[in-house]
């Protein structure tokens, strides 16, 4: 599993192509030739770009669920809506399909932000609105997400 870091401001052309920044391409180098999966995010109107290796792990988790339970079946359908295998072309561009450009409201300005092994693809204005939260809200989220956990020694190095 690769550890992706950073936030990158990019531009999308009229055909939905986004040139990946050099620093991001370097981070993706170990998985670049294996392809990616582009999908709708579950929680925001943005996209998620998953390296195929990461997506294969998620697929294992999905397959472990009973597909004959209606709730699971509905979840699978929603979770994989718009899912598209994609590659980064020889010039370092990501082609975003039109239906996903429309879903995420992507115009010319795009933000790529690394998050837990995958990359979120945002329209810049939508991203700015999504991160515009009060200091109190941020503090509460940090406490809920990280406050109850004590890192073990291996996590500190």
Q: What is the CATH number of the domain that holds 84?
A: 3.40.1550.20
Residue 143 placed within a domain: no
Residue 106 placed within a domain: yes
Local structure of 48: helix, strand or coil:
strand
Calpha distance 142→66 (Å, rounded): 33
Calpha distance 47→49 (Å, rounded): 7
Closest CA to 25 of 91, 85, 86, 84: 91
Q: What end-to-end distance do the CA atoms of the chain give, in Å?
A: 18
Residue 43 placed within a domain: yes
Closest CA to 93 of 15, 5, 147: 15
Q: Contact 27/4 with Cβ under 8 angstroms?
A: yes
Residue 32 placed within a domain: yes
Question: What is the block-wise mean pLDDT of the chain (157 residues), using blocks of 10 residues?
Answer: 90 96 94 94 94 89 86 88 93 96 96 92 96 88 81 61
Residue 156 placed within a domain: no
Residue 63 placed within a domain: yes
Q: How far is CA 157 from the centre of its chain?
A: 26
Q: Which domain covers residue 94, as residue numbers?
A: 7-131
Residue with tokens 């009229």: 14
Helix, strand, coil percent values for the chain (each to nearest 5): 40, 25, 35
Q: What is the pLDDT of residue 3?
A: 87
Residue 93 placed within a domain: yes
pTM score: 0.85
Q: What is the pLDDT of residue 52?
A: 93
Residue 88 placed within a domain: yes
Q: How far is CA 117 from the centre of its chain?
A: 8
Q: What is the pLDDT of residue 153?
A: 59
Q: What is the pLDDT of residue 64?
A: 87
How many domains is the chain partitioned into structurally? 1
């Amino acid at each position: 599993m690769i550890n992706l870091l950073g936030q990158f401001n990019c531009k999308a052309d009229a055909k939905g192509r986004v040139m990946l920044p050099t620093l991001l391409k370097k981070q993706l180098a170990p998985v670049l030739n294996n392809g990616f999966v582009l999908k709708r995010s579950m929680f925001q109107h943005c996209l998620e770009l998953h390296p195929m290796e990461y997506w294969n792990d998620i697929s294992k988790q999905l397959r472990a669920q009973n597909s004959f339970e209606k709730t699971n079946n509905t979840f699978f359908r929603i979770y994989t809506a718009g899912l598209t295998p994609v590659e980064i072309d020889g010039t370092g561009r990501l082609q975003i399909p039109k239906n996903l450009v429309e879903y995420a409201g992507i115009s010319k300005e795009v933000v790529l932000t690394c998050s837990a092994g995958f990359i979120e693809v945002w329209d810049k204005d939508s991203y700015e609105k999504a991160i515009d939260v009060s200091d109190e809200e941020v503090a509460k989220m940090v406490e809920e997400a990280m406050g109850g956990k004590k890192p073990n020694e291996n996590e500190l190095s």
